[in-house]
Copies of this chain bind each other. A is one copy, B any other.
Amino acid sequence: MHLFYAAHIDPEFHILSQEESKHCRVLRIKAGDFVYLTDGKGNMFKAIVSDNSTGIYHLKIVEHFTDFHKKPYRLHIGIAPTKHTDRFEWFLEKATELGICEFTPLLCEHSEKTHLKYERLEKVLVSALKQSFSAYLPKLNYMVNFSDFVNSAFDQKFIAVCTENLPHLSSVCKPGRQTTILIGPEGDFSENEIMLAQKNNFIPITLGKNRLRTETAGIFACSVVNIINS
């Protein structure tokens, strides 16, 4: 079952982009084969390859599924990007596979990374979307200051901190909700940041006794929310 992506899909016919057509050729897909197509907004289409003689794949849609495998929750993670880009990309990939809805990279007091290559990161998301056969492309926001972000988030809100004797995320996070979780940089959030988050009704939580890397903490938080809603 091969899945392809396009931001806009005509409900009857669709011509794949050069990049997606190339991916089809690599997979040796030929005329008459069935493929799947998603717009990343919950629509999943089954289609047949009607022509690929020019190298560009023409598809005829034969079935349309709306709200495909829609999750009963929305998870938004605000996270300080890691110093090494591959670790952050790995987080984006895994979080997409595990059903996250939205990412906001955070600029924190202890942040080591202050710039991102958004175009490249979008490609990571699309690739993970296709790989995981999901119809929902997560939204990747531009990096914002920690203080601006904590002002704007809503519904159930948590901040993961490396302090003992806090409730575990899995014991306080409720299912079926919009959830925002903050994950800090390697040097953790500053005391000011934790106070500011608490003022804005973020609940401090732990992710367990082991000291987790930023990207592991992010994936583990996605897993917790996924499991609570399973």
A binding-site residues for B, Cβ under 8 Å: 69, 90, 94, 97-99, 131-134, 168, 170-171, 208-213, 216, 219-220, 223-224, 226-227, 230
- A127 CB to closest chain B CB (Å) equals 11
Can you name 11 A-B residue pairings with CB atoms under 8 Å? Answer: A69-B210, A94-B216, A97-B212, A97-B213, A97-B216, A98-B210, A98-B220, A170-B230, A171-B230, A208-B226, A223-B223
Closest residue of B by beta carbon distance from A206: B230
A209 near B97: Cβ-Cβ < 8 Å: no
B132 touches A210 (CB 8 A): yes
Which B residues touch A132, using CB under 8 A? 210-213
Chain B, residue nearest A97 (CB)? B216
Interface centre among A213, A216, A219 (most CB of B within 10 A): A216
Q: A168-B230, A216-B97, A230-B171 are in contact. Are A133 and B223 (CB under 8 A)?
A: no
Copies in the complex: 2
How far apart are the CA atoms of A99 and B99 in the complex, in Å? 23
Contact A170 B227 (CB under 8 A): yes
Q: A219-B219, A220-B223 are in contact. Are A133 and B170 (CB under 8 A)?
A: no
A171 to B228, CA, bound (A): 10
Do B208 and A230 touch across chains, with their CB atoms under 8 A apart? yes
| Chain B proximity of A87: nearest CB distance (Å) | 9
- Chain B residue with the shortest CB-CB distance to A217: B97
Top 7 A-B pairs ranked by shortest CB distance?
A223-B223, A133-B211, A132-B210, A170-B227, A168-B230, A69-B209, A97-B216
Is the CB–CB distance between B90 and A210 below 8 Å?
A: no
Which residue on B lies nearest to A132, using beta carbons? B210
- A99 contact set on B, CB distance < 8 A: 208, 210
Q: Cα distance A219–B97 when bound, in Å?
A: 12
Look across to chain B and name the residue whose beta carbon is closest to the beta carbon of A171: B230
Identity of the chain B residue whose Cβ is nearest the Cβ of A168 in the assembled complex: B230
A98: chain B residues at CB < 8 Å are 210, 212, 216, 220
